[in-house]
A and B are shown apart, each in its own frame.
Chain A
Amino acid sequence: MDYRLIINEETSSASISIIDNDTVIIVISDSTYRVGYERVSENQLYLNINGGTVNAYIADTPDGAHVVIDGLTYIVQDADAPARQVKRKKSLSEIPQEVTPPMPSVVVRVLVGVGDAVAKGSGVVVVSAMKMETTLLAPFDGTVTAIHAAAGDKVMPGQILVDIEKNEDRP
């Protein structure tokens, strides 16, 4: 996953790849950072960046994300922000149409096999990230046609883990 982030009118490209459920590698321009992370609260991240502890405070504001580290404030803007906009689902009945993890995760357990019938909302894959397990659900009634992940795999948001064919056209 790639980002182009602007601070003080300087844009840097960054890419992220995951190591395990609480560690990622982030490469910004020519620098590589090994980042351990834990979310303390909505506004505080406890980070270990290349061995050093960093408490980062962050909040979204109209002019970008305000980040404060050690008393210094940075305004970070995402050059690709409109494309990344997510519509938060308000209704409980809406489930993502793809079986994909919400954050860089490690697959803990695949709950289905190819050919299985699944009901909408039933568990399909269990993933783990930031020490928290998340069960990804079947978006609709259907049949599992392919599985693209196995326990222990490191997966990223956007990656489809299980293909399910919708039942609607079946008699």
Chain B
Amino acid sequence: MFKRILVANRGEIAVRVINTCREMGIESVAIYSDVDNRSAHVLAADRAVCLGAPSPIESYLNIDKIIQAARETGAEAIHPGYGFLSENPAFAQRCEDEGFVFIGPPAKVIRDLGDKITARKIMIAGGVPVVPGIFRDEPDPDRLMAEAEHLGYPVMIKASAGGGGKGIRVVAAPEEMKEASRAAASEAAAAFGNGTIYLEKFLSRARHVEFQILADSHGSAIHVLERECSIQRRHQKIIEETPSPVMTPELRDAMGKAAVAAARASRYVNAGTVEFLVDENRNFYFLEVNTRLQVEHPITEMITGIDLVRQQISIAAGNRLSFAQEDIAGRGHAIECRIYAEDPENDFFPSPGKIAYLKEPSGPGIRSDCGIYTGFTVPFEYDPILSKLIVHAETREKAIARMTRALQAYVILGVKTPIPFLIDILASDAFAGGETCTNFIPTYFADWKPQAKNADLARIAYIVNAVGKKPAGKSSSYEPQTVTPWMTLGNWRM
């Protein structure tokens, strides 16, 4: 087993990986940029290496600096987390070349599956149903239009080199095609360094259902059940749950088999996620494979009791999977809400700043994967995810109640978060009814505005707080019972 692992990431996921390393008796090495010198992941690690300037290409995306840090600290393996370099085949290759174990699939697998067009070809050859679309990149807008006619509008333009909501445009009619393809290609080039786009049929009332896969280096491949990720805002997931409300045992069996087939077809090793779209008739289609740990992996951990990071490390160390497909069973229902530093009243614009006060909820079935603490200043250079709130309960209804209670008990002062938005979604009839499809937010929450219904309570709190400030500082006299007014002064004038 490894003695030391370098975690090539930051924030809550780096803390998450470091926690499991600690439980396994493995030393952890954190990397950080100048603005992250007091970040939670740095404080949690056994050692930390500063990479310098905060921009991602000079820090968390800087392969040379990260390899150097691994070498200096004697790390044997590198865990890439999610985002940043986790799906970068050049990074995985460099780790392999320099003698570090990359905790993830081989570089070739990342390369193949990272190119969405190649991935689809592999899946088709492996017998996995795919979303109808064109299987080659097509830069010519007129040809794109011809293909779109053939597929039938609406269609979706997607970037071949990456995901995360970038390089995606839905085109409802031929007139929009030219501009949409230009914009998508340009966005993709900026985000991934590669403007290649392709075309898929757009399934408007589809659900995004993904399957967790685990494969070892000895030929075993299994799935670890599904996650429903349809609640998305601008193609970014915000609420995930398992089991999926649309799932039946038959569908789970069929999709699970397809997920494992996808793993085998691509010669997958380590943890990954096979994403599918499920249409209104419960037909499912392969979308893509994410060759890394997902943000929403905790909900799978809650219903199965499996530590996926531990599995990743174990597989990377060459061990066989210690369980088989028939050992995998889920219990109860889990939901995750992503807490971003975003202002829901200002079109979810990022809201960095100092965390004046943080209080996380607790109780049975509550898990908080948190990357911040009271007094921490959230940098604006990176993805604004602060933490993830996960709940587990016996039934979906109970999980919704538990998540609502936990969100109401979550206190983050100093930055704005979408907590009020999440509370309203969870309270909606549509969510209660499990009507989670990818256009959920545009359908039910397009013009959401926060309600200031208890504004008077906030005014009362403000006034009471102002007139009753806590005594600050110590008295120099040895009469602890006497608190002199100049220490407790509220409002007064000379």
Interface residues of A (CB under 8 A from B): 1, 3, 5, 7-8, 10, 12, 14, 16, 24, 26, 28, 31, 33, 35, 37, 39, 41-45, 47, 49, 54, 56-62, 65-74, 76, 78, 84, 86, 88-89, 92, 94-98, 100-104, 123, 129-130, 132-137, 157-158
Question: Is B481 among interface residues, defined by CB-CB distance under 8 A?
Answer: yes
A7 to B482, CA, bound (A): 37
Please determine whether A14 and B463 come into contact, CB atoms closer than 8 angstroms: yes
Q: If the complex has contacts A8-B455, A57-B359, A68-B412, are A95 and B484 also in contact, measured as CB distance less than 8 A? A: yes
Residues of B within 8 A of A61 (CB): 353-354, 356, 413-414
Chain A residues near B203 (CB-CB < 8 A): none
Residue from B359, B455, B489 in contact with A86 in the complex, judged by beta carbons closer than 8 Å: B489
Chain B nearest Cβ from A38, distance in angstroms:
9
Closest to B450 in A: A72
A88 → chain B, closest Cβ, in Å? 7
Q: Is the CB of A66 within 8 A of B356?
A: yes
The verdict on B39 contacting chain A, using a C-beta distance below 8 Å, is no
Q: Let me know if B491 and A76 touch, CB within 8 A.
A: no
- Complex: how many Å from CA A138 to CA B214? 75
User: Which of A28, A39, A43, A158 touches B456 (beta carbons < 8 Å)?
Assistant: A28
Residues from chain A with Cβ under 8 Å of B465 in the complex: 45, 56, 58, 65
Instruction: Name the one of B410, B461, B468, B470 contacting A69, with C-beta atoms under 8 angstroms.
Output: B461
- Give the segment of B148-156, B274-282, B417-425 that binds chain A: B417-425
Given contacts A72-B454, A73-B416, contact A88 B411 (CB under 8 A): no
* B483 beta carbon closer than 8 Å to chain A: yes
Q: Are A37 and B492 in contact (CB under 8 A)?
A: no
Contact residues of B: prevailing secondary structure = mixed
Residues of A within 8 A of B356 (CB): 43, 59-61, 66
- Give the nearest-CB partner of B408 in chain A: A71
A86 pairs with B490, CB closer than 8 A: yes
**Contact yes or no, A12 B456, CB < 8 A:** yes
CA distance A42 to B337 in the complex (A): 28
Q: List 19 extra interface pairs beyond A61-B414, A89-B486, A134-B484, CB under 8 A.
A: A5-B463, A12-B456, A26-B459, A35-B460, A45-B464, A49-B460, A54-B457, A57-B357, A60-B356, A66-B356, A67-B461, A73-B419, A96-B485, A102-B490, A130-B468, A134-B488, A136-B485, A157-B490, A157-B491
Please tell me if the beta carbons of A1 and B482 are within 8 angstroms of each other in the complex. no
Neighbouring B residues of A89 by C-beta, 8 Å: 486, 489
B467 touching A1 by the CB < 8 A rule?
yes
Collect the chain A residues with CB atoms within 8 Å of residue B413's CB.
43, 57-59, 61, 66, 68, 73
Q: Which residues of the partner chain B approach A70 to less than 8 Å between Cβ atoms?
A: 408, 454
B323 within 8 A of A: no
The answer for the CA separation of A65 and B452 in the assembled complex, in Å, is 15
Q: How large is the interface on B (under 10, 10 to 19, 20 to 34, 35 or more residues)?
A: 35 or more
**Is A59's CB under 8 angstroms from B357's CB?**
yes
Which 5 residue pairs across A and B have the least CB separation, nearest first?
A59-B356, A56-B461, A74-B458, A71-B408, A59-B413
8 A Cβ contacts from B344-364 to A:
345, 353-354, 356-357, 359
Q: How far is the CB of A5 from chain B (nearest CB, A)?
A: 5
User: Contacts of A69 on B, CB cut-off 8 Å?
Assistant: 454, 457-458, 461
Q: Are B483 and A45 in contact (CB under 8 A)?
A: no
Known: A3-B463, A28-B459, A95-B486. A71 touches B414 (CB 8 A): no
Interface residues of B (CB under 8 A from A): 345, 353-354, 356-357, 359, 407-414, 416-417, 419-420, 423, 450-452, 454-470, 472, 476, 481-486, 488-494
- When distances are taken between beta carbons in the complex, the residues of chain A under 8 Å from B359 are 44, 57
Contacts of A71 in B (CB 8 A): 407-410, 419-420, 423
| CB-based contact B455/A74 at 8 Å | yes
Could you tell me if B467 and A16 are in contact, using CB atoms closer than 8 angstroms? Answer: yes
A58 touching B470 in the complex, CB below 8 Å, given contacts A84-B491, A134-B483: no
Max chain B Cβ within 10 angstroms of own Cβ: one of A33, A44, A59: A59
- Contact partner of A133 (CB less than 8 A), chosen from B414, B416, B481, is B481
Closest to A126 in B: B482
Q: List 18 A-B contacts (CB under 8 A).
A: A3-B459, A7-B455, A7-B459, A8-B455, A12-B456, A28-B460, A45-B461, A56-B457, A56-B464, A61-B356, A69-B454, A71-B419, A74-B454, A76-B458, A96-B486, A102-B488, A103-B468, A137-B484
Given known A-B contacts A61-B356, A69-B457, A96 and B420 have beta carbons under 8 A apart: no
Q: Whole-angstrom distance from the CB of B486 to the nearest CB of chain A?
A: 5
Which A-chain residue is minimally distant from B405 (CB atoms)?
A71
How far apart are the CA atoms of A170 and B235 in the complex, in Å? 80
On whether the beta carbons of A14 and B489 are closer than 8 Å, the reply is: no
CA distance A73 to B408 in the complex (A): 10
| A8:B452 contact, CB within 8 angstroms | yes
Interface centre among B455, B485, B489 (most CB of A within 10 A): B485
Which residues of B sit under 8 angstroms from A104, Cβ to Cβ?
467-468
* Cβ 8 A contact of B489, one of A7, A33, A54, A102: A102
A134 to B475, CA, bound (A): 12
